[in-house]
């Protein structure tokens, strides 16, 4: 019989095994992730990731889409929020902090001029704001320390906050 230790629905044994495996063999910490995207007509597309159901994407009607799914810039905000949620769950659990609730609000400012070819400039977000609502069994100081740890170790947060080489080639 296998016994699993959990807190906040996080499998502590699995995280400990992964941490120890990377500690013993640092090369195991270098990973590559994939997604394949296929166009479905108009502004619709689907991302396939591992064996999961396809993740649809579309644009709102005001941008020429059919509003059948979130658009890519909304998905980017969601990716940051989801990554932070994982960070809060993992780090709270490692500290023995019970989470009662977690909600993350994200918004970003995007100017469509460059995307529409009306002027050169930045087609991406000018700024992203995140507000974390964390309800946990911990002191304000413990929550601030947890927050600082999560923000300083978020893979998506790090990716968005620094220049990252992106090589897009036509095959």
CA angle, residues 56, 70, 152, in degrees to nearest 5:
105
Q: Which tens digit of pLDDT belongs to each residue from 47-78? A: 999 999 999 999 999 999 999 999 999 999 99
* Residue 1 pLDDT > 70: no
Domains in the chain with CATH codes: 71-162 (3.30.300.20)
Q: What is the pLDDT of residue 15?
A: 85
Q: Which tens digit of pLDDT belongs to each residue from 135-152? A: 999 999 999 999 999 999
Q: How many CB atoms are closer than 10 A to CB 44?
A: 16
Residue in the structure block whose two tokens are 């941490």: 19
Residue 99's contacts (CB-CB under 8 Å, 6 or more residues apart) are: 8, 88, 89, 92, 134, 135, 136
DSSP 3-23: ---EETTEEHHHHHHHHHHHH
**Bridge partners (DSSP) listed for residue 165:** none
Q: What is the pLDDT of residue 4?
A: 64
In the structure encoding, which two tokens stand for residue 89, read together?
């769950």
Of 97, 101, 123, nearest to 110 by C-alpha is: 123
Q: What is the pLDDT of residue 168?
A: 97
Whole-structure pTM over 0.85, yes or no? yes
Q: What is the pLDDT of residue 134?
A: 97
* Residue 2 pLDDT > 80: no
> What angle separates helix 12-24 from helix 72-94, to the nearest 10 degrees?
90
> What is the rounded CA–CA span in Å between residue 48 and residue 90?
26
Give the chain's end-to-end CA distance (angstroms, integer): 51
């Amino acid at each position: 019989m296998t016994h699993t230790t959990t807190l906040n629905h996080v499998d502590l044994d699995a995280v400990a095994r992964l941490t120890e495996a990377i500690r013993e063999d640092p090369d195991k910490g270098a990973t590559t992730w994939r997604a394949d995207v296929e166009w479905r007509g108009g502004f619709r597309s689907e991302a396939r990731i591992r064996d999961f159901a396809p993740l649809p994407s579309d644009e709102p009607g005001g941008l020429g889409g059919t509003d059948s799914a979130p658009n890519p810039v909304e998905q980017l905000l969601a990716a940051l929020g989801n990554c932070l949620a994982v960070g809060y769950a993992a780090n709270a659990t490692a500290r023995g902090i019970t989470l009662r609730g977690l909600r993350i609000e994200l918004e970003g400012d995007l100017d469509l001029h460059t995307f529409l070819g009306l002027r050169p400039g930045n087609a991406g977000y000018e700024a992203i704001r995140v507000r974390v609502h964390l309800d946990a069994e911990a002191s304000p100081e413990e929550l601030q320390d947890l927050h600082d740890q999560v923000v300083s170790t978020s893979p998506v947060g790090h990716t968005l906050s620094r220049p990252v080489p992106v090589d897009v080639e036509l095959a």
